[in-house]
Amino acid sequence: MKRFLKGLAIVVVVAGILVFAFDEQIKQFVYDGLTDDMFVAADTDEFDPGPLLGSHFPGVNASYRGRELKLINEFYGENGTVFIATRSADWCPYCMRQMVQLQEYKQRFDAAGIGMVAMTYDDPALQQAFIDKWTIEYPILHDIDALSFITLGILNEKYQKGDSAYGIPHPGMIVVDSGGIVVGKQFLEDYSVRVDSGASLEFAKKALGLTGG
């Protein structure tokens, strides 16, 4: 009996070591499965939170690299910017995959003169871990006390103060021209579906009058 228990203990310890060693790989495998078919070609639903088209993009209450921000003007490209509201770069697989895909398209946004800036409610240290892991080159802002998402009218009100997810937005993209005017929005009601970054770029270019369509 003692030999059996000793053997069982060894098996448990080895299993624990293996789970610890491969935890990240297992998690990534699960995330990849969840997000395999998350991208769509266009925003086709009627869900439309956020500032009105034609209105000025409001100020934010955010932090970036240890300093507080009230405006996002510094992130504008020659023709404007896209503001990406996302739930979490720490635990939301759909958000993380979208943000990684957006990084893959960053040079194309740059070439079109369109800046990119994202925002989550995550602690800046968690944001930085994501940035370092995936070599994200566009800025990711930290929303302070959910005030930015409240001001923008995109706070997910399903969660209340005290909930771990309080402060997350309805994920989406807001297109802002170089004068600070909101000219386009993409918000899908289903948080597990996102518009493909290539399609989002074409949408932003059209909203900013950069295409003939």
- pLDDT of 89 higher than 60: yes
Q: Which residues fall within 8 angstroms of residue 187, CB to CB, at 6 or more apart?
A: 43, 47, 48, 49, 50, 154, 170, 171, 172, 173
Tokens of 140: 């990711």
Q: Which residue has the tokens 């990534």?
A: 28
> 174-195, pLDDT tens digit by residue?
999 999 999 999 999 999 999 9
Strands of the 182-187 sheet, one edge to the other? 80-85, 172-177, 182-187
pTM: 0.86
> 18-70, pLDDT tens digit by residue?
445 555 566 556 666 778 899 999 999 999 999 999 999 999 999 999 999 99
